[in-house]
Structure 1
Amino acid sequence: MSRWRPPPAKSSAYITAEGHARMKAEFDQLWRVRRPDVVKHLAAAAAEGDRSENAEYQYRKKELREIDSRLKYLTTRLQVLQIVEVKPRSDGKVFFGARVTVSDDEAEERSYRIVGPDEADAQAGQISVDAPVARALLGRTVGDVVQVRLPSGVQTLEIVGVAYQAPA
């Protein structure tokens, strides 16, 4: 059996203005604050002598690699992302950036905001536009009933409300 796995599906290149600002802030913090601090500690650890048995040196090299890897990802990703700031003309329809309130089979209401894959956070109620629930809701209006195929089975959701946040 081989270890080969198909490459992951490409994620959408959309992001909200708030998500883009957070990614830029993370990049700036890593580049201006965190990386210089790690480089300073790495140089101090390297000056101590034998690097092969120096745990501090090994740790700082690993930390620097992780920071550089994240900076490379953020640089590449920020270049291709498209900021979606336009509020749709139709308030009742679900589009990117919408806060959608749905009611499931047990009449339990949940609220989701449809955002880009880079800013998705299920705990905060923000789901990726590429997620099955978001794909099922896009283009629908209040009162529509949709069926979503999830790993746990098919779930029926009714759209109870759609709202858009005002631009910050």
Structure 2
Amino acid sequence: MATPLITRQGFEKLMQELDHLWRVERPEVTKMVTWAASLGDRSENADYQYNKKRLREIDRRVRYLQKRLDSLKVVDYHPDQDGKVFFGAWVEIENDSGETKRFRIAGYDEIFDRKDYISVDAPMARSLLKKEVDDEVVVKTEAGTFVWYVSAIEYEK
């Protein structure tokens, strides 16, 4: 199971998604289901079947978000974190070939649709925790062992 940590921004985004699903999308889809059901034979009614399926998807996501939001622990920035890599940090790393990467260490629920976020549970993030600028980081993955150097650390304050 993923570590139940989340940044303040990630938590607020999930709360907004839950609110939007519950207050906007669900009522609209419910109206469509009611309208489509009033047309008669539901077995061959594509509008009814599609919207009923969409309603189940919304309800499933709402249940997941309600449970998940209750179990998440919001981690806010603290001045003691400055200079070291901790949860929520934007980290820039570089290897001996000059290749650079920049990403934020975030919670599992935040990494989807974001190419610039990695999960705190990822091998790279685990290897980076508590490192400082200019520290060498050895990352062991299934693909092999890689060496990186921390070149910058920032926090959203």
Give your verdict on TM over 0.5.
yes
- Give the CA deviation at 1:88: 4.4
Secondary structure of the residue aligned to 1:149 is strand
Instruction: Specify every segment of 5 or more residues in structure 1 that has no aligned partner in the other structure, as ranges.
Output: 1-9
Residue 144 of structure 1 aligns with which residue? 135
- Give the CA deviation at 1:121: 4.6
Moved more, 130-139 or 153-162: 153-162
Residue 93 of structure 1 aligns with which residue? 84
- Give the CA deviation at 1:123: 4.4
Residue 35 of structure 1 aligns with which residue? 26
Identify, as 1 or 2, the structure richer in helix. Answer: 2
Moved more, 118-127 or 54-63: 118-127
Q: 1: CA distance between counterparts of 2:120 and 2:16?
A: 23
Q: CA separation of 1:107/1:138 partners in 2, compared to 1, >3 Å: closer, same or farther?
A: same
- Give the CA deviation at 1:163: 1.3
Secondary structure of the residue aligned to 2:110 is coil
1:133 to 121, 124, 129: 124
Q: 1: CA distance between counterparts of 2:96 and 2:55?
A: 49
1:38 maps to amino acid: V
The reply on whether 1:54 has 2:45 as its aligned counterpart is yes
Question: Is contact 2:77-2:156 (8 Å) kept?
Answer: no
Secondary structure of the residue aligned to 1:89 is helix
Q: CA separation of 1:118/1:153 partners in 2, compared to 1, >3 Å: closer, same or farther?
A: same
Residue 71 of structure 2 aligns with which residue? 80
Residue 4 of structure 1 aligns with which residue? none
Moved more, 17-26 or 137-146: 137-146
Q: CA separation of 1:90/1:20 partners in 2, compared to 1, >3 Å: closer, same or farther?
A: closer
Aligned ranges for residues 3-22 of structure 1 at < 5 Å? Answer: 10-22=1-13
Question: Is contact 1:87-1:164 (8 Å) kept?
Answer: no
Cα deviation per residue 1:49-80 (whole Å; 9 max; x = unaligned)? 01111111111111001000100110000001
Q: 2: CA distance between counterparts of 1:39 and 1:137?
A: 47
2:60 to 69, 74, 85: 69
Q: 2: CA distance between counterparts of 1:123 and 1:153?
A: 24
